[in-house]
Amino acid sequence: MKYEGAYLTDGKSLNNWDVFTHEHPEKILDESNGDVAVDQYHRFMEDVDLMISLGVKSYRFSISWSRVLPRGRFGGINYSGIKFYNIVIDALTSRGIKPFVTLNHMDYPQEFENRFQGWLSPEMQILDPVIYGTYPKEMVNILGPALPRISTNEANNLKNSKVDFMGINHYTSYFIRDCLVSACNTGSGAFKADGFSLKLDRIGNVTIGELTDVKWQHTDPEGFRKMLDYLKNRHPEIPIFITENGFGDLQKPETTIKELHDTKRIQYMSGYLEALQAAIGME
């Protein structure tokens, strides 16, 4: 979605971001959209050649849901979209580059948005139901009978299926205030679970970490380690891949080569790699 372009080419349908950026261009800093983007749909072989020149061994990319299933769960498969991704994967593997496929990243068919209001729908749950066939006890305690029922047969099918790996992203961390035991001013909220906790990036004058150019992102290697420890201990049998993290740095076209030798990015990478090493248990 961010780079493919070709937004209505070869049977692709409108996705949520196509509609949003066309209806609300003022919400985007430069009023741009993904209609063309960097036109990776037509120029992906240039990217493959660049990967070869850089010695890249794997490439992570998304499969656009609206390109392969234009009407979501309705309508059928767009085989032109399937063909495109097959060509991309063949181009990578024939050159010794391992494809790392992300099934969904940011965009989905507008039909899904119309029907469910996207991933924010209360009908969406992740991990525990998929892995164990049950909801976390915290969800049960708070939401109780509002949770969709999982039948015994469905639970058994979920538990007997195998999750190959978990891909996790870490952008920033927050302090969390438990509003069950503390006074919180959380606003009205959008879901039944809102109001049970409050996210904070600071407590008094103490911030969770150094603020980057992205004004909601604080660097926090310790939070990264804690997240990995939590998932490793909760799901010890499932391999973990770090699929996204990074240092928030605004694009500055006038940046000089000298300025690119920045210490903050070095400190970020060093701190997060040390946190990863600690989570793995390596000395």
Half-sphere exposure of 59 (CA within 13 A, CB side): 24
Strand partners, 52: none
What's the Cα-to-Cα distance from 39 to each of 9, 12, 53, 253, 266, rounded to whole Å? Answer: 11, 14, 20, 20, 31
Strands 197-200 and 175-178: antiparallel
pLDDT band at 197 (very low <50, low <70, confident <90, very high): confident
Of 124 and 136, more confident: 136
- Mean pLDDT calculated for residue range 213-217: 90
Question: Does pLDDT of 275 surpass 90?
Answer: yes
The predicted pLDDT at position 283 comes to 45
Q: What is the pLDDT of residue 190?
A: 46
pLDDT band at 127 (very low <50, low <70, confident <90, very high): confident
Q: Which amino acid is at 155?
A: A
Determine which one of 244, 254, 259, 283 is catalytic.
244
The residue type found at 191 is F
CB atoms within 10 A of CB 25: 12
Lowest model confidence (mean pLDDT) among 38-47, 60-69, 178-187: 178-187
Q: What is the pLDDT of residues 235-267, one digit of tens each?
A: 998 999 998 999 988 777 777 777 777 788 899
Interhelix angle for 79-93 vs 40-54, to 10°? 10
State yes or no: is 244 an active-site residue: yes
For the chain, what is the mean pLDDT?
A: 87
Q: Minimal CA–CA distance to 127: which of 118, 115, 139, 117?
A: 139
Distance CA 195, CA 192 (A): 8
